[in-house]
A = this chain, B = another copy of it.
């Protein structure tokens, strides 16, 4: 049965058994795993070792950890097609997915050097900035902060921001998103982000940045999302650039 290696570490063996429980469907999506203390007692290991087993499952994305509440089975991942520049919100609603948007903060700021470059404006340019938390069925998915050029969208913050801003900007200002430049990278969630999403600090996450441009190619919005790593799946379509193929 376990002829793989002479000394498969205990925490791995326990992780294997928990993994098997989940694979067998004994534990459905979002259902609670046994507690660290419970596992320690059941398998005759110390609590710290039990924790290592659970952490192994977390790093696989099989399990997630809510700060001081327990560990739960990760649900199926949510797919976001980044090549098709309809916002996640608009896309999700079109597919009939349950999606709640909570407005966390709103403020008026000014572009720093980095934002100025990304949005092709001068540093100091007034911006609307807002942070929103996206949930599905009550579970946090990602946290997003967007910055839009205030001059182009006066009184934007008077609208209800608990909806797709892509659609909002289209309807009320006639600006539609035509292209986007996207960057994806992995990083742990920061303490404040974790607190807002109810997760333990350093929860694995994926950051997605996008610069959104209008039909004339002018950027008007910069967004940065931090997704729960175990939930995110991004798909994209690639097409050979004819110039390179020539």
By a beta-carbon cutoff of 8 Å, the part of chain A in contact with chain B is 55-56, 59-61, 77, 82-86, 176-188, 201-202, 204-206, 210, 229-230, 232-241, 244-245
Contacts and interface: CB of A to CB of B under 8 A. Distances in A.
B179 A206 contact: no
Contact of A77 (B55, B185, B202): B185
A184 B182 CA distance: 13
Nearest to A84: B241
B182 A230 contact: no
A108 B209 CA distance: 40
A82 B236 CA distance: 8
The list of the 7 closest CB pairs from A to B, nearest first, reads A59-B188, A186-B229, A180-B238, A85-B238, A59-B202, A184-B234, A182-B236
A61 B189 CA distance: 11
A56 to B, nearest CB: 6
A241 B56 CA distance: 40
Contacts of A86: 240-241, 244
Contact of A83 (B60, B176, B210, B238): B238
A237 B185 contact: no
A212 B230 CA distance: 25
A236 B186 contact: no
B238 A186 contact: no
Nearest to A235: B183
A77 B186 CA distance: 11
Nearest to A91: B244
Contact of A237 (B61, B179, B188, B229): B179
Contacts of A237: 83, 179-182
Nearest to A244: B86
A233 B60 CA distance: 20
Contacts of A202: 55-56, 59-60
B239 A179 contact: yes
Contacts of A204: 59, 186, 188, 204
A245 B181 contact: no
A210 B84 CA distance: 17
A240 B84 CA distance: 5
B180 A234 contact: no
